[in-house]
Amino acid sequence: GVLWEPGWFRPPAAGQRAALPAARPSGGSSSGTMGQTDIMGTAEDVADQFLRVTKQYLPHLARLCLISTFLEDGIRMWFQWNDQRDYIEVTWSCGYLLATCFVLINLFGQLGGCILILSRNFVQYACFGLFGIIALQTIAYSILWDLKFLMRNLALGGGLLLLLAESRSEGKSMFAGVPTIKESSPKQYMQLGGRVLLILMFMTLLHFNSSFFSIIQNVVGTGLIVLVAIGFKTKLAALTLVIWLFSLNLYFNAFWTVPTYKPMHDFLKYDFFQSMSVIGGLLLVVALGPGGVSMDEKKKEW
């Protein structure tokens, strides 16, 4: 909300001042700028109030949303055991035993990782295990060659990076009385990497057509994801993206409206829970802030 900051305007030397005309701000420009500032200030106040009310619950909700796609996929491995095993066996010609091992790894790896994360035990090991699951599925299901699904998997990895950064923060809070010089670089760069990867999900939602609604959606969405990536007005931008993505998710991925016997049901369900995981990552950004490598943090030094 600051219109002028030190260093932006330097007054002329004493001998030059008489030659310069008096500067008068334009009424329309000034009122427009003040109006934009008031709207931004009001939005930030609303976001701050929301954070104050939900600060005790938001990290828990964020973690639950983040692991939801792994939880759903692990349960699906149990109920679609034969289908998943047969698919891997036929696609890779790897035999019954290796296909069964693949399903077992996905089943226990995902459900076990979710339990550890929700119980706050060995969170870092659980995150690394889920990273391995993402990599394994990317190769096994040939996601590597599908740009849209690859970007969504990378966005999911971004959420896990933020969760990993949060677990490092909690580990250090045990030594709250010990003075530290600066936040550790690994955590800062994990938060940066997590933010950048999260925005890949929104890039898959952009629609390149000439309709008015699509143009507005693309412009606003692009602006918000850039703000999150560079870490400027991060909490407000991330909270806005949460609301936007949740609304789109309910509208476009309403798998409960499609009969379970239709293949579209599983596709929509997969997309729905992947989007919920990215929402969880964004909620972590809202709860914890952007980290040290961000414009919000640098503004404090300016």
Q: By three-state DSSP, how is residue 28 classified? A: helix
Q: How far apart are the first and last CA of the chain?
A: 15
287: CB partners within 8 A, 6+ apart? 51, 55, 58, 59, 62
State mean pLDDT over 206-235. Answer: 83
State mean pLDDT over 200-214. Answer: 77
Specify the pLDDT at position 127: 95
pLDDT per position as a tens digit, 148-174? 888 989 999 999 999 998 887 655 544
Structure tokens at 161: 């990076």
State mean pLDDT over 103-115. Answer: 96
With bands split at pLDDT 50, 70 and 90, how would you rate the model's confidence at 31? low
Q: Which of 58, 191, 66 is nearest to 118 (CA)?
A: 66
Phi then psi dihedrals of residue 160, to 5 deg:
-65, -35
Residue with tokens 């409206």: 257
Angle in degrees, CA 53, 55, 57, rounded to 5: 100
Residue 102, pLDDT above cutoff 70: yes
State how far the Cα of 111 lies from the Cα of 149, in Å rounded to an integer. Answer: 22
Residue 14, pLDDT above cutoff 50: no
Q: Which of 108, 55, 64 is nearest to 235 (CA)?
A: 55
Specify the pLDDT at position 170: 57
Specify the pLDDT at position 158: 92
DSSP 145: G
Structure tokens at 140: 């096994």
What percent of the chain stands above pLDDT 70? Answer: 80
What mean pLDDT is reported for the chain? Answer: 81
Residue with tokens 């995981």: 277
pLDDT per position as a tens digit, 173-190? 444 444 444 445 788 888
Specify the pLDDT at position 8: 36
Specify the pLDDT at position 37: 66
Q: Which of 45, 136, 58, 71 is nearest to 99 (CA)?
A: 136
The helix (H) or strand (E) run that includes residue 88 is helix 81-92
Q: pTM, whole model, 2 decimals?
A: 0.77
Instruction: Tell me how crowded residue 39 is: count the other CB atoms within 10 A of its CB.
Output: 10
State how far the Cα of 70 lies from the Cα of 273, in Å rounded to an integer. Answer: 8
